[in-house]
A and B are shown apart, each in its own frame.
With several copies, the nearest count.
Chain A
Amino acid sequence: MPRMTMIEAIRSAMDVSMEHDDDVVVFGEDVGYFGGVFRSTQGLQQKYGKTRCFDVPINESGIVGAAIGMAAYGLKPCVEIQFADYMYPAYDQLTQEAARLRYRSNGDFTCPVTIRMPTGGGIFGGQTHSQSPEALFTHVCGLQVVVPSNPYDAKGLLIASIENPDPVIFLEPKRLYNGPFDGHHDKPVTSWAAHPLGEVPAEYFTVPLGKAVVRRPGSAVTVLAYGTMVHVAEATAEETGIDAEVIDLRTLLPLDLETIVASVKKTGRCMVVHEATLTSGFGAELAALVQEHCFYHLEAPIVRVAGWDTPYPHAQEWDYFPGPARVGRALREMMEA
C-alpha cells in the first residue's frame, strides 16, 4: 500500500472525490494554481480545470457563503480556510446558514459542504496560526466536526465528509501534516513513513463519521484525545508506564459516546486532553457526559489537561502546549487520587 504524509492523504482524498463525482469542487485562498499554502490541493487545478479548483478573493464569509449557494444548487464544495484562526469572518455563514439550511427549509434545501481548516499549534505560529476552535463548532447543532490524527483517517474521513449530505467542519492538525508529533518538540522530527497509519490506500475508501477508535488499549485510565493530542497521550502512556486506554475520538460531533462510556466503565478513571483553551473547551462537554454516564464507576474526578486560558503565545509555545510533561504529571496525580 502507498505511504502518504497527512498532506498527501488529504490531497488524495480530494483527488479521488473529484474523480468520483463531478459535483465536487474545491476552492479557497491560494488553493488553485499554487495548490494551497500547505500544498494540500497541489495539482488539482491542473487535473480538473480552473472551474473545479480555483483561487478566491480573500473573504472567508464569501468562501463559505458561495459554497452554501453552490451546495443549494447541487454541488458538493470542499473549501479550505487557510488557517482555522481565520474562520471567524465566516462564523455567521457556518453556524447560522450552513448548519441551518436543512432544518429551516424542512429538507427542501441542503448543504453538503466540507470546510477544511488547518488547526492547532506547534509551528511557532503565534496567536493567529495556532488556534483550535472545535468547541465553537460543537455547540452548533447541524454541524459535524471531524479531527483526524493520521494520514489513513484523514483520507477516509475527508472522503466521508465530502460525501456526507450535511456540512462538516474538517479540522486538520497542522503539526501532524508531515509526521506524527508526540509533543517532544526537542527531539528529532519523525515522518509518517515509519508509522503504520501512514499506509493509505490510493483508491476511494471511507472512514465513517461518528466512530471513535481505541488507539491504545489499557486498564488504568481512559484518555480521551483527538488530533495531535492522540500522539501525546500515547507517548505519555508509554513513558509513564501507566496503562492508559487512549481513545482517538476522530469525530467530535456527533460523538461516539458508546465507545467512551464502555472504556471509562472499565477503567474507572477518565482524563480529557486537548490543545484548545480549557474553559468551555470540548473537554468540558466530554467531562460532563462522562460523569453523567459513568458516575457510579468513577474512582476519581475527571481531569482536563488543555491549553491555558490565554491566547496562544509565540515565544512561550511549549509552555502553552499541553505536552507529555503536563499530561504525564496529571496522569500520575490521577492514579494517586
Chain B
Amino acid sequence: MTDNITGRLSLHVPEPEVRPGGKPDFSNVTIPEAGSVRRPEVDEDPEQMRDLAFSIIRVLNRQGEAVGPWAGSLTNDELMEGLRHMMLLRVFDQRMLMAQRQGKTSFYMQHLGEEAVSCAFRKALVQGDMNFPTYRQAGLLIAGGYPMVDMMNEIYSNDADPLKGRQLPVLYSSKEYGFFTISGNLATQYIQAVGWAMASAIKNDTKIAAGWIGDGATAESDFHAALVFASTYRAPVILNVVNNQWAISTFQGIARGGSGTFAARGLGFGLPSLRVDGNDYLAVHAVAKWAAERARRNIGPTLIEYVTYRVGAHSTSDDPSAYRPKEESEAWPLGDPVIRLKNHLIQVGAWSEERHVQMEAEIRDTVVAAQKEAEKHGTLHSGGRPSMRDMFEGVYAEMPPHLKRQRQQAGV
C-alpha cells in the first residue's frame, strides 16, 4: 500500500519487474508443487472453490511424473497423440514464420511456448462443440484434425484459400471443425461464445461452447458482457483466459491491476475460477475436461486461466527485445510444454529419445509436404489468387443492386 505522506496524491503506474538489460526475475510468481491442488466435484458450490483462483493446478512434476488428483485424464496413447499435435503446431509455426519472411505472405502469429493450451483443450471437447478462438489457438484445428494444407492456403490467401483471400493470415474459420471465424477485434467473440452456448441450452441440445481470450484482452469490455451473461443464464460455456504474460509490449500487470490473478475476475460472478499450468498438457486437459463436464451437465460456466508464456514475438510485426529481456523466456519457471510431455512419456516408458527424433523428422516431412501442396495454389504475391469477383461476393446472401453496379464498374 502506498500511503500518502505529503497529503498529495500521485498516480501508480504498474511496471514489470525487469526491462531489457535487466536480469529476468520470476521470483514473484509462486509455483505450487505439482499434485498439490485439490480437485473439487464439478457440482460443488463455486463459493467453496475460491482458493483455486489463486493457486496453479499442475500434474507433471519435475521428474516428469503425473501426480495428484488431476492426473489420469488421458491414456498414454492419447498423450502420444497430444505430443504429436504440439510438435506439428511448432513445426507449422516455424515454416509459416519462414514463409512470411520469404514474402510468401504478409503476416503471421506463432504459438511458441503455448502449444499445450489449445492442443490439450481441444481433446476435452467433442464434435459439434464450438470454440470461439483468438489468433493464438491454431492447436484447436491441428488437434481437431483440420487439414493443415487448408490452414496454409488461408495464410497464403491463394486460390484454394477457404476464405477467398478476404481474411488476414491465421484468422481461420471452420464450422465443421468447431472453430468460429476469428475476428481481428479483441474480445468480441467471448460474449458470442456465451450466446452460442445459450442457444444450445434454449434448444435443449447437448453441445457446449468455449470462449478464448488473452490476458491483455480481458480488459476489454466484452469480457464483462460475457461474464455477466454466462453467470446470469448459467450458459454451458467454458471461458478460457490465456495468460501468456504479455499483450504485445504490455506486461500482464496492466490488465490485471490489483487482482492477484486473472482467474480472480470470475469470483465476482460466482463462477468456478480455476488457474492451471498452461505448459502442462495433462493439467490443461484435466481442467478442461472438468469444466466441459460442468457445462454438459448443465451446471454452468467455468472460468479457466492458463498460466503460460509467449516465447516468441507477438506477431511478425513485433520485436520483443525492445521491451523485455531476451533471456526472459528461458527463465520462465513452467518450462516448455513439448519437453515436459516428452519427458513424462519417457518417464512412464512409453517413449524414447530415439522415437522422438524420428517423430520430429516425420513431422517435418508432413508439414513440408503440406506446404508444397499449398504453394501449388500460389502464395500471396505469386501464383493463383482469389479473384476480384470473390471480393464482391458474400457481403450478403444475395448481392444487392448497388454491389452489382460496383462489380460491373470494376469490370468483373
- Are any A and B Cβ atoms less than 8 Å apart in their complex? yes
B 358-400 binary contact with A (CB < 8 Å = 1; else 0): 0000000000000000000000100001111011101111001
Is A201 in contact with chain B by the CB < 8 A criterion? no
Looking at the assembled complex, report how far the CB atom of B230 sits from the nearest CB atom of chain A, in whole angstroms. Answer: 10
Give A255 to B400 CA distance when docked, in angstroms. 9
B 163-179 binary contact with A (CB < 8 Å = 1; else 0): 11111110101110000
Is A190 in contact with chain B by the CB < 8 A criterion? no
Which of A52, A70, A93, A310 is B196 in contact with, Cβ under 8 Å? A70
| Contact across chains for B166 and A29 when beta carbons are under 8 A apart | no
Please give, as numbers and ranges, the residues of chain A lying within 8 Å of B229 by CB-CB distance: 56-57, 59, 62, 66
Is A50 in contact with chain B by the CB < 8 A criterion? yes
Give A56 to B216 CA distance when docked, in angstroms. 10
B-side interface residues, number (CB < 8 Å) = 88
Closest-by-CB residue of A relative to B388 is A319
Looking at the assembled complex, report how far the CB atom of B369 sits from the nearest CB atom of chain A, in whole angstroms. Answer: 24
Is A160 in contact with chain B by the CB < 8 A criterion? no
Looking at the assembled complex, report how far the CB atom of B127 sits from the nearest CB atom of chain A, in whole angstroms. Answer: 15
Is A129 in contact with chain B by the CB < 8 A criterion? yes
Is B317 in contact with chain A by the CB < 8 A criterion? yes
Q: Which of B167, B183, B203 is the most central at the interface, judged by chain A CB atoms within 10 Å of its CB?
A: B167
| Contact across chains for A308 and B192 when beta carbons are under 8 A apart | no
| Contact across chains for B168 and A310 when beta carbons are under 8 A apart | no
Which residues of A from 163 to 207 have beta carbons under 8 Å from B?
165-166
Looking at the assembled complex, report how far the CB atom of A169 sits from the nearest CB atom of chain B, in whole angstroms. Answer: 14
| Contact across chains for B185 and A96 when beta carbons are under 8 A apart | yes
Q: Beyond A73-B199, A97-B183, A109-B173: 8 further Cβ-contacts under 8 Å? A: A29-B247, A32-B13, A37-B318, A50-B13, A72-B130, A93-B188, A103-B395, A319-B388
| Contact across chains for B166 and A69 when beta carbons are under 8 A apart | no
Which of B175, B187, B226 is A109 in contact with, Cβ under 8 Å? B175
Looking at the assembled complex, report how far the CB atom of A47 sits from the nearest CB atom of chain B, in whole angstroms. Answer: 15
| Contact across chains for A126 and B396 when beta carbons are under 8 A apart | no
Please give, as numbers and ranges, the residues of chain A lying within 8 Å of B394 by CB-CB distance: 102-103, 106-107
Is B254 in contact with chain A by the CB < 8 A criterion? yes
B 186-221 binary contact with A (CB < 8 Å = 1; else 0): 111111111111111111000001000000110111
| Contact across chains for A62 and B228 when beta carbons are under 8 A apart | yes
| Contact across chains for A316 and B386 when beta carbons are under 8 A apart | yes
Which residues of A from 253 to 290 have beta carbons under 8 Å from B?
254-255, 257-258, 278-279
Given A33-B323, A110-B397, A255-B402, decide whether A69 and B195 contact each other with a Cβ distance below 8 A: yes
| Contact across chains for B397 and A311 when beta carbons are under 8 A apart | no
Please give, as numbers and ranges, the residues of chain A lying within 8 Å of B194 by CB-CB distance: 65-66, 69
| Contact across chains for B163 and A106 when beta carbons are under 8 A apart | yes
Closest-by-CB residue of B relative to A126 is B168
Which of A30, A59, A257 is B219 in contact with, Cβ under 8 Å? A59
| Contact across chains for A108 and B221 when beta carbons are under 8 A apart | no
| Contact across chains for B163 and A34 when beta carbons are under 8 A apart | no
